[in-house]
Chain A
């Protein structure tokens, strides 16, 4: 089983200054990771344990210091190559027009940014899928091969005192699924003032988040899109687990059958994921006493947006991602849409969706100025990802909710 990589469970090791290599470089990488994690962690998990708050440190200060240190470090490296002294202030770097055409400056910055983003990217993607998706690491050019064991049970037949060996054979056939990460790329342009913080307030978290956010949208789309497409395949979601409307009866049938299938004995081992609109609709519906049952739920529904538990099953909001380019027009979202997915939290078997990213650096960054032709700065990001529906651990799906 893959290790679950969660923002909440990031090892402190990741924020320590690596003893190997350049200590200054490692210090900047460590502070960048800290700032980025503090920025993005609470957005993913309300219960994200802030390392800064625990030490009475202020995010804005840490984030700004990291950005200044990074820019100064890159400038020092670039100047050192040609024998110039290190800059004494950020302003000196901002006004040094040789640096905006210096390959060493950009190479150093891309190296730092890649090191900052990579480990966090793993966790962001892993958190995004929640219990619905496992994320594996694969070597570059490699294949992740998953052996999916059968979820079936043996059939016990009626027999006789001496006829036991005459019972038909049962088999548990395994299946194989492979994940071969595919390339995704993004080109962007940035001006010198933007890059060295003349006009962006030097917020490290925002800077790294902007680099990652588009990728996040893409991964959300690939993951949820693949999952929604898989719902219509009865090999993934058998008809007895697929319901085309929400009501209390369907909720009861879905959870009851899922518990029997997964051989679990507590509803607390199930979790339901959906977007806010869908979760809002999860209220007593179609029972003999809808009005009376709903009466006491009003305060929780209003305060939390939806009831936290329905029929013993915990509800979790799945946040959709904005489709890039639609922010000013349709505001289109990718996510679970009007589907609610009920699945077991952990337990046996692979999660319904399986994903793989390339090991080491899930996202590589390259900065340069030659390619743009106008001395603006080119940013090229490349990432490798693959996702497949496996549904070894079955889930129930309720569609057209909300």
Chain B
């Protein structure tokens, strides 16, 4: 996935109870057969876990062992929301909580302390938050393929982003927009805006 401008993600309402908030580490990319190829992942991009990521550091163990992480995943773009059938949807949003990273002349740098809308670099581990039914989330305008409106308030997942429509999808996870308008993110010097939506099951 190439960089997408104006992407950001916020958990808008939460109970703050640890066992209801699921944030797991992982990489983002795509699969060709069994081969995973890493890619950058925009903030708030919706993904699904495809396989557990290999456990680093033990590749040269002797006798060889095949070790995968217990709960660190290789994520791919969520094509749609149909896989979700319960409160724990199995669909995650990129919610990287580290510091901004950038590759300059081939070297990866941690730069600055910006905390909103951080893109996850290719092949780096980041945080992915599981979308849960009934909770509200704020996505920036870049996370939508078109702005939601009172008429087009049902936002279905289409290749990691949200596509507003006038009717709910037939099944699975979608996000409902309640028409409370375009909202600024509280970041100085930024004109980034977004929309608050609630996760629901069709």
Contact = CB atoms under 8 A, between A and B. Distances in A.
Interface of A: 141-143, 145, 176-178, 180, 182-183, 185, 217-222, 224-225, 228-229, 323, 325-326, 330-334, 337, 370-371
A218 B55 CA distance: 10
A37 to B, nearest CB: 25
A230 B61 CA distance: 16
A228 B60 contact: yes
Nearest to B106: A176
**B-side interface mostly:** loop
A334 B109 contact: no
B109 A143 contact: yes
Given A141-B99, A183-B125, A222-B56, A178 B61 contact: no
A332 B65 contact: yes
Interface of B: 18-19, 25, 56-65, 67, 98-99, 101, 105, 107-111, 113, 124-125
A303 to B, nearest CB: 27
Nearest to A326: B65
- 8 residue pairs, one from A and one from B, having the closest CB atoms: A221-B57, A141-B99, A222-B57, A178-B107, A332-B61, A332-B65, A143-B110, A143-B109
Given A219-B57, A325-B67, A332-B58, 18 more contacts: A141-B110, A141-B113, A145-B107, A180-B101, A182-B125, A217-B57, A218-B57, A221-B56, A221-B59, A225-B59, A229-B59, A229-B60, A323-B61, A331-B63, A332-B63, A333-B61, A334-B57, A334-B58
A13 B58 CA distance: 36
A222 B55 CA distance: 10
B98 A141 contact: yes
A328 B110 CA distance: 40
B107 A176 contact: yes
Given A141-B98, A222-B57, A371-B18, A178 B62 contact: no
Given A183-B25, A332-B63, A225 B58 contact: yes
Contact of B111 (A143, A177, A224): A143
25 contacts: A141-B99, A145-B107, A145-B109, A176-B105, A176-B107, A180-B101, A180-B110, A182-B124, A182-B125, A183-B25, A183-B125, A185-B25, A219-B57, A222-B56, A222-B57, A225-B56, A225-B57, A225-B59, A323-B61, A330-B63, A332-B58, A332-B63, A332-B64, A334-B57, A334-B60
A202 B125 CA distance: 38
B177 to A, nearest CB: 34
Contacts of A325: 67
A214 B98 CA distance: 24
A1 to B, nearest CB: 20
A143 B111 CA distance: 8
Residue among B101, B105, B107 with the most chain A CB within 10 A?
A: B107
A333 B99 CA distance: 34
B60 to A, nearest CB: 5
Contacts of A370: 18
Contact of B65 (A142, A330, A371): A330
Contacts of A222: 56-57
Nearest to A334: B61
Nearest to A385: B57
Contacts of A142: 110
B62 to A, nearest CB: 5
Contact of A177 (B65, B98, B99, B107): B107
Contact of A180 (B56, B58, B105, B108): B108
Contacts of B113: 141
Given A183-B125, A330-B65, A224 B60 contact: yes
Nearest to A339: B60
A330 B63 CA distance: 7
Contacts of A332: 58, 61-65
Nearest to A140: B99
Contacts of A141: 98-99, 110, 113
A334 B63 CA distance: 9
Nearest to B57: A221
A180 B126 CA distance: 13
Contacts of B99: 141
A216 to B, nearest CB: 11
Nearest to B107: A178
Contacts of B111: 143
A180 B57 contact: no
B58 A323 contact: yes
Contacts of A225: 56-60
Contacts of A183: 25, 125
Contacts of A333: 61-62
Contacts of A178: 107-109
A279 B190 CA distance: 61
Nearest to B70: A187
Nearest to B18: A371
B201 to A, nearest CB: 27
B60 A180 contact: no
A224 B57 CA distance: 8
Contacts of A228: 60
Contacts of A337: 60, 62
Contacts of B57: 217-222, 225, 334
B108 to A, nearest CB: 5
A155 to B, nearest CB: 27
A270 B56 CA distance: 31
Nearest to A217: B57
Contacts of A219: 57
